[in-house]
Amino acid sequence: MIKILWRVLLITAGLLILGFLWIRVSWNQPMPEGVPGPEAEKMAKAILKSINAPAWDTTRWVSWTYRKDHEFIWDRQRNWVSVRWTDKRVLFDAGELTGLAWQENQPLKGNTSRQVVEQAWEIFCNDSYWLNAPAKIMDEGTVRELVTLGDGSKALKVTFSSGGVTPGDTYLWMVDDKNRPTAWRMWVKVLPIGGLEFSWDDWVRLPTGARIATTRRGKVLTIRITDLQAGNSYRDIGLTTDPFRELARR
């Protein structure tokens, strides 16, 4: 009986490895060459205009849920963030990377608190980028290149040479005739397959005027942004008191 179980486990493991190798070979795409310069900068500015980036820049308060797992409140003026996931709650200053943490409503102290705050920061870096990645294509530390695709259309290649959790990641943005992003392809450290593509769908206009896509669809995964609210006061996102009052009293 044990020999049969081992044989089944070995066959299953072999099939999984073969399946992964097939996916990596068939899905993996080489990173395209691009050309930096005025045309790339022009396309970047057109993308920012299509999403009304100036309105996003002046939007103070944003709250959202990422994949139904992580709940955020972000005061972008103070750069203070609230993150909830599983049994944890964290309030932190994203500039100083300091804050307060709770688990099962009990305050955490010392190294445990610092580790959970750092975990919350890493979650926020990823999920806030997926919230409105097009708005960051001209951030400090980015390099932009114009890419000509096989069908003759143009795309914008953006590489993050510094900043965030995984500097060096590269994204290729495809756009529609209004320069609004329709999809991106990714070459990132956390994924073993290069060039995975996700569409950017279900665009909404926030009360502040900024435009955000709330759905990203890939071959095997769909990521949704839900409970999205924004405004210039915490009352605009449905709160009656400042959610960072504990952080302010530190």
Which residues have a Cβ under 8 Å from the Cβ of 201 and sit 6 or more positions away?
213, 214, 215, 216, 217
Q: How confident is the model at residue 27 (pLDDT cuts 50, 70, 90)?
A: low
How many CB atoms sit inside 10 A of residue 130's CB? Answer: 14
**Mean pLDDT (the chain, rounded):** 89
Can you tell me the mean pLDDT for 78-102? 97
- 129 is written with which tokens? 């980028």
The half-sphere exposure of 19 on its side-chain side, counting CA atoms within 13 A, is 6
Q: CA 32, CA 147: separation in Å to the nearest integer? A: 7
Can you tell me the mean pLDDT for 215-237? 96
Q: Check: CB of residue 102 under 8 Å from CB of residue 92.
A: no
Sequence letter at residue 36:
P
The number of angstroms, rounded, from the C-alpha of 5 to the middle of its chain's C-alpha atoms is 42
User: Could you tell me the fold of the domain covering 31-248?
Assistant: outer membrane lipoprotein receptor (LolB), chain A (2.50.20)
User: Any idea where the domains of the chain sit in the sequence?
Assistant: 31-248
Which residues have a Cβ under 8 Å from the Cβ of 146 and sit 6 or more positions away?
34, 35, 36, 37, 39, 40, 43, 154, 155, 156, 157
Q: How confident is the model at residue 128 (pLDDT cuts 50, 70, 90)?
A: very high
- 55 is written with which tokens? 């309105």
Q: Each residue of 145-200: pLDDT tens digit?
A: 999 999 999 999 999 986 555 678 999 999 999 999 999 999 998 778 999 999 99
Torsion of CA 133, 139, 142, 148, to 10 degrees: 60
pLDDT at residue 1, rounded to an integer: 53
Q: Each residue of 53-72: pLDDT tens digit?
A: 999 999 999 999 999 999 99
